[in-house]
Amino acid sequence: MLLAIDIGNTTVALGVFRGKELIKEWGIRSVREKTADEYGITLLELLRVSGLVPGAIKGAIISSVVPPLTPAFQALCQNLFGVRALIVGPGLRTGMPILYENPGEVGADRVVASVAAYEKYGGPVIVVDFGTATTFDAVTAKGEYLGGAIAPGIQISAEALYLRTAKLPRIEVAKPKKAIGRATVSSMQSGIYFGYVGLVNSLIAEISRELEGQPEIVVTGGFASQLGPEIKAPHHHEPHLVLEGLRILFERNKEEGPAA
C-alpha cells in the first residue's frame, strides 16, 4: 500500500492507496512545532482504528508547502514504515512541462493537482483549489503547466476584516439570504461571500479566455463543496485531487525511489 501525504498550511491530508483505490483518507492539523514522533503517534492511531497494519505500507510520497514539516514526515515514514518517501520537487518526474518563469517557485500541491486534473480530464484544464489560499492553475491542451493566480482564501479574507478593523466582529463564513445586509454580520457575510464568488468567476473567465479551447474546470480544497456550486461554468468537484496526483507521481517515479 502507498501512503500519500499532502502538507498544507492549515491541514495535512493523508491517504492510503491500495493500487489505484483510495481506501482511507484523513485530515489532521498542520502544526509546525510538532515533531516526527508526535505525528507518528497520531498516524499509528489512525491506522489502528481503521484496521490497517503499518507493515502494509510499502511506499510513501510527500508534497509540502510547509518546509519545516517536510523533514518530520520524512523521518516518520522511515521510522514507522522503513520506507524513504519521495518528495515532490526538483528531480521528481511529473510528466508535465512547467512553463513558469521560475519552476521552483510553483507550490508542490499546485503541480500535483494539475497533474491529476490533466490525467483525468485532459486539457486545457483549470484547477481551482479552495484552501488557505485559493489557487487557480492553467494547463494547456498539450499538458503544459502555464501558471495561474493566487488569491487570499475566503477564511483569510474574513479574518483580515476582523483583525484590521476596530468594531467589526469575527464571523462565520456563510452564504447570506440576501446581498443587502440589514445588520453588521449579514452585511459582512454578503461582502465576503458574494464578493468572493465574483472573484472566483471573474478569474475563471479571464484564464479561460487566455487558454486555447474550452477548458475543463476542476475544483478541490476545503471550501470547494461550499463555493464550487457558485461557479457559473460547468465544472467537476474532486475532493481528493492532490492525493490522487501524488499516487500518479509515485507510479511515474517508483522505479527510482528506494520506497519501491
Beta-strand pair 125-130/86-87:
unpaired
SS (HEC) of the chain: CEEEEEECCCEEEEEEEECCEEEEEEEEECCCCCCHHHHHHHHHHHHHHCCCCHHHCCEEEEEECCHHHHHHHHHHHHHHHCCCCEECCCCCCCCCCECCCCHHHCCHHHHHHHHHHHHHHCCCEEEEEECCEEEEEEECCCCCEEEEEEEECHHHHHHHHHHCCCCCCCCCCCCCCCCCCCCHHHHHHHHHHHHHHHHHHHHHHHHHHHCCCCCEEEEECCCHHHHHHHCCCCCEECCCHHHHHHHHHHHHHCCCCCCC
What is the distance between the alpha carbons of residues 199 and 101, in angstroms, rounded to a whole number? 25
Q: Which triple of cell numbers denotes residue 35?
A: 515533531
- Nearest of 93, 1, 92, 29 to residue 222 by alpha carbon: 29
Among 6, 37, 109, 129, which one carries the catalytic annotation? 109
* Annotation marks residue 109 as catalytic: yes
Query: Which sequence positions are flagged as catalytic?
Result: 109
